[in-house]
Structure 1
Amino acid sequence: MSSQARPTEELYRAAMLLSGAGDALGYRNQRWEYCESGPQIHQELEELGGLGAIVARLPGWRVSDDTVLHLATAEALISGKEHDDLLHDLAARYVEAMKDMDNRKPGPTSILGTSQLKPGQTGGYRIPFNPRALGCGAAMRSMCIGLRFPRTSQLPDLVRLSVESGRMTHNHPTGYLGSLAAALFTAYAVQRKPLVEWGVGLLDTLSLALEYVKTTGIDVKENIAAWEFFPEKWKWYLRERNLESGKGPPRFPAAYGPQERDEVYKTFSLESWAGRSGHDAPMIAYDALLSAGESWTQLCSHGMFHGGDSDSTGVIAGCCWGALHGLSSVPPGNYEHLEYKERLLAAARGLYTAAWGAEIE
């Protein structure tokens, strides 16, 4: 048994609820996900009365494909299935989840990938290698893997599940390593690992992921050829933030308001679409966590209200922040009336029990 401190179930509830809140707030029924201007989003937020005035409920604040697919991952993880049975169940749930995408804007790679899955058939949870599968669709649905496998001793399970679930739609390292990053950062939040160490921890874990990919013998040549972009971009980011040693303190630009963040986030990203890809959705979420401290308002300002794919960065940042800080300082309207709130809570309970056993009163 690990000596790792046991978290409370409340932190698991906060992680799942605030993942949904981060998604709904960053999405705003497509209006903010597809807005390229952080200053415009902040202006519209002010006109709404600020973050505390937002009641995230239907019809104005539905969750996007991110939460639907995150729930699919979580509900598979608490099904009791293991090994190949679990992977087939994950694939089946991803296929089923794609029927719930009206007004949720799933990405084209997720649509293509799920159309290629054949759960129940031999090898049916695998799809062909895709040199264009660079997007964040695997990262945005994988935080719960870190809630299910939060112990340092469970790192091999976390690596295996995040890689396998990620490449069910995004069979390219830039895509599925985003899944690993989102899961690992959530596990780090549960572990109370200092934030300044997370990026170096991710880089150290990539060698395990590469070894796992080689061991499976699937698309090894293609994966090795495409591997280096993800670690090299993360090394660059950690140098930018004075975190390459894992000690910090993090270094941010002197001016880092909404306009400046839009410009900086573009330098993280592919084709200047911040948060759209597997490497930079968790990167922007991490950047927001580093700058926000214990402030939910600051986290949302940096992680949900920026130009680019703001629901995908928001769903990751919200989950990690919830696992760290809970709900007590979050405006209740941001999460109390969320679409799929009860499913999120049920998933949190199931993940907590699976990871830690029933909570001792």
Structure 2
Amino acid sequence: MAQRNRSTESRRNDDWSVHTSKERYVAGMVLSGAGDALGFKNGDWENCTSGAQIHKELNSLGGLENICVKNWIVSDDTVMHLATAEALIQNKSCQDKENLYSLLAQAYKDSMSDMKGRAAGLTCMEMCKRLDPYKQNGYRIPYSTSGGGCGAAMRSMCIGLRCPRPKDIHDLVEISIESGRMTHHHPTGYLGSLASALFASYAVQNREICSWGVGLLETTRLAKSYVRNKGLFVDENMKDWDYFVSKWEQFLNLRKLNDGRWPPHFSVDFDDVRKRDQFYRMISFENTGGASGHDAPMIAYDALLACNGKWEELCKRAMFHGGDSDSTGTIAGFLFGVLYCFQGVPKCNYKQLEYRERLENAGKKLYGIVFSH
């Protein structure tokens, strides 16, 4: 990973788009679904609190290289991620944001009809009922003290594909926040949406991976200004703002990435799944790693830092742990795909993936919108 980081950083220039292929967009979308299906395992592993038990069951199935996801459905994460992507594609332009937000709200409402067996989050379901997409401001919901979950973070990576350039940062901030708070109107929730979208854009840019966390903290300052200027429940938002930021500051301090420079620091025993579970619980909100807006992208990012470009290692850390493993798996799989395409990924992990064609098409169309000009 260190070698890749140095080499990709040396290639960065004003024409970084020459390094971006359509395959990277497709792989990001497809492997987000694969990461979801693997972490979910039809609900069995999402609800398992022991990473050690998951690894034991994985070994009994012949290991990751023998896992065919044909009969492993995707969870609500992929259904809502596709809803986001397809609304972005339908709107095409980032200029007509009111239309985009109406399309997103309608897509989220429509996605609720495809949640059988997918363990849809209660917050998403309840808030989608409140959305009135084609009424003025009907995509907005009131502030919610219980809106800090990961339901916005797990569906927003494709926003980074739509707004991948450094010059797109204001659009990325606005769209990720507004789409996020359609169901999760709490900074811990919608800043998770921002984190996933931002990391996706960094992956497209080939930005040095160890600098992503610092970049996120810098971008939260733009986000704070946006929320203040928008004028919606400002006092409530500002009161709860610091939790997300402080958690990320603590995490970067633990990994010794405060300056955004390689290498991250991992303790020797972090290869032990039990120790990872313990760590994920420690950084979580209510003892379930990956269930909140701050730690779902955090765990995915942590796994990406440690995997050295190896799919199996990423899965061990992001998809197979005793927490919200489908959400962290969705985000991690996406980021891996954009960085490494399908390198080292067993075809059985994605070839017969549910909604694979829709995911592929979304990646191709988003690429076409961004790079056709």
- 1:36 pairs with 2:49: yes
Partner of 2:358 in structure 1?
343
Matched letter for residue 42 of structure 1? H
Partner residue in 2 for 1:117: 131
Aligned equivalent of 2:257, options 236, 243, 255: 243
Q: Which residue of 1 is the match for residue 65 of structure 2?
A: 52
Q: How does 1:276-355 map to 2 (within 5 A)?
A: 276-355=291-370
2:45 maps to amino acid: W
Q: Structure 2: how far apart are the matches of 1:5 and 1:337?
A: 30
For residues 89 and 259 of structure 1, the distance between their equivalents in structure 2, rounded to whole angstroms, comes to 43
**Which position in structure 2 is the counterpart of 1:65?**
76
1:5 is aligned with what amino acid?
S
Distance 1:328 1:196 in 2: 21
Equivalences, count: 356
**Normalised by the size of structure 2, how large is the TM-score?**
0.94
Residue 17 in 1 paired to residue 30 in 2?
Answer: yes
Q: Distance in 1 between matches of 2:129 and 2:175?
A: 20
- Give CA-to-partner distance per residue, 1:232-279, whole Å, 9 cap, x none: 000000000000111131001110111110001111101110100000
CA distance in 1, matches of 2:186, 2:16: 33
Q: Which amino acid aligns with 1:285?
A: A
TM-fit CA distance, 1:155: 0.4
Counterpart position of 1:229: 243
Counting helix residues as a fraction of each chain, which structure ranks higher?
A: 2
Q: Is contact 1:4-1:151 (8 Å) kept?
A: no
- 2:147 is aligned, of 122, 133, 136, to 133
Matches within 5 A, 1:195-214: 195-214=209-228
For 2:293, give the aligned amino acid: G
The Cα of 1:110 is off from its aligned counterpart by 0.5
Letter aligned with residue 78 of structure 1: I
1:3 aligned partner: 15
TM-score (norm 1): 0.97
Deviation per residue, 1:266-309 (Å, 9 max, x gap): 11101110100000000000000000011000000000000010
1:127-172 C-alpha deviation (Å, 9 max, x unpaired): 0100111100000000000011100010001001000000000000
**Using the alignment, how far apart are the partners of 2:204 and 2:245 within structure 1?**
24
Separation in structure 2 between the aligned mates of residue 182 and residue 152 of structure 1, nearest angstrom: 15
Inter-partner Cα distance in structure 2 for 1:44 and 1:83 = 46
1:112 Cα shift? 1.3
Counterpart residue type for residue 88 of structure 1: S
SS of 2:46's equivalent in the other structure is: coil
1:220 maps to what in 2? 234
Matches within 5 A, 1:136-151: 136-151=150-165
Cα deviation per residue 1:181-215 (whole Å; 9 max; x = unaligned)?
A: 00000111111111110000000000110111111
User: Aligned ranges for residues 145-224 of structure 1 at < 5 Å?
Assistant: 145-224=159-238
Residue 57 of structure 1: how far off its partner (Å):
1.3
C-alpha deviation, 1:41, in angstroms: 0.4
| Deviation beyond 3 Å, 4+ runs, structure 1 | none
RMSD between superposed Cα atoms in Å: 1.1
Counterpart of 1:259, as a letter, is R
Q: 1:119 is matched by which residue type in structure 2? A: P
1:267 to 282, 307, 315: 282
Give structure 1 stretches of 5+ with no counterpart. none
Q: Which residue of 2 aligns with 1:78?
A: 89
**More deviation in 157-166 or 248-257?**
248-257
